[in-house]
Chain A
Amino acid sequence: MIISLLAENDSGSTPTTEELASWADDYGISTPVVADDGWTITYRFATGSSIGLPTLHLIGPGAEVIAVDSTSEGWYAETEIESLLYGE
């Protein structure tokens, strides 16, 4: 499962439902697209005082944090992410 977190719209506000739906439609995304109100989730996993975008965080079964902030060093290769997500 991939969840897209969108913290701000073009005006710097929390995206509306319509904006989230438009984003999912524009990019053909058929997994959850959610508003990250106040950057709650994104900043939760920041490894420093700032965070690059876009960035990835990997949460395992049972909500265990496996890896945070893909803009930091030592992150998973895409094939490893695929394996974790789909068990391949």
Chain B
Amino acid sequence: MRRHFVSVVVGSLIMGCEPVPVDLNFDASAAGGADSDGDGLSDTEENELGTDPNESDSDGDGWLDGEEVDVGSDPTDESDHPYTGGWQIDAACRDGIEATGNSVGDITDDTSLSDQYGEEVHLHDFCERAVLLVSGAFW
């Protein structure tokens, strides 16, 4: 399912591509196995992930476990959930970075970016994790 999400994001930026919405209502039974709590993950998958097969929102962050897996957030971590603006910034990480360049192996420059909520985020705000940047345009 995570691969599916990456494909959707990249596909959304391919010129002429028809919209392909993320399937947040993924039918776990289609992938084999019962989905006791109806969160989009089969009980087998929940056991593998460490989520509760009888609790649709295992970490209590307001997002179904299946939704979180679809977008790559951790369904067992309340602080890690789909982006709704107001990115939680680790200032210690961000402030400890010193840019060295923009070639492979360098520490890239920081840049201010405006998101879909009208908020300013900085590239270095995401320094605690790997980030896949998908570049495109509307046309």
Interface residues of A (CB under 8 A from B): 1-10, 12, 15, 17, 19-21, 23-24, 26-37, 40-42, 44-45, 51, 53-68, 78-79, 81-82, 84-86, 88
Are A34 and B115 interface neighbours, CB within 8 A? Answer: yes
Taking Cβ atoms with an 8 Å cutoff, the residues of B that contact A are: 2-3, 5-10, 12-15, 19-22, 24, 67, 71-72, 82-84, 87, 93, 97, 99, 101-111, 113-118, 121, 123-124, 126-139
Contact A34 B135 (CB under 8 A): no
Contacts of A85 in B (CB 8 A): 2, 6, 72, 129-130, 132
- Expressed in whole angstroms, the Cα–Cα distance for A26 and B101 within the complex equals 35
Please name 7 pairs of A and B residues whose Cβ atoms are closer than 8 Å in the assembled complex, sorted by A: A4-B134, A5-B113, A5-B135, A17-B115, A57-B135, A65-B104, A78-B3
Whole-angstrom distance from the CB of A32 to the nearest CB of chain B?
5
- Are B116 and A59 interface neighbours, CB within 8 A? no
Contact yes or no, A56 B22, CB < 8 A: no
| B72 near A63: Cβ-Cβ < 8 Å | no
Q: How far is the CA of A28 from the CA of B78 in the complex (A)?
A: 22
Q: Which residues of B have CB within 8 Å of A10?
A: 138-139
What's the dominant secondary structure at chain A's contact region?
mixed
- On chain A, the residues within 8 Å of B126 by CB distance are 1, 3, 59, 63
